[in-house]
Amino acid sequence: MGINFKQSQASLAAANRIALDLERILKEQDELISGTKVAASHAKESQVLLELAKLPVDRLKDATEETVRIETLRKYG
């Protein structure tokens, strides 16, 4: 009874393919997580700006504790 080198090579090749697939999947997962975080950040920022737009102009300084940029006022009415 000896070692079946062909079977061992086939098993090694299959293991290498699986390892490469796992690396690709992990990279894709990281990219998806990163994209989701960016999208959530933009969504939060948009929600805050929309809520600020609902405030009367004279109360914006109270809400932000600093000055509000003119571009923001123009953009969100």
Per-residue b/e over 26-60, b at no fewer than 16 CB within 10 Å?
eeeeeeeeeeeeeeeeeeeeeeeeeebeeeeeeeb
Residues of the chain with pLDDT under 70: 1, 57-77
Tokens of 55: 């405030």
Q: What one-letter code names the amino acid at 34?
A: S
> What integer pLDDT is reported at residue 64 of this predicted model?
56
* Global pTM value: 0.56
Q: What one-letter code names the amino acid at 53?
A: A
> What integer pLDDT is reported at residue 51 of this predicted model?
83
> What integer pLDDT is reported at residue 22 of this predicted model?
98
> What integer pLDDT is reported at residue 66 of this predicted model?
57
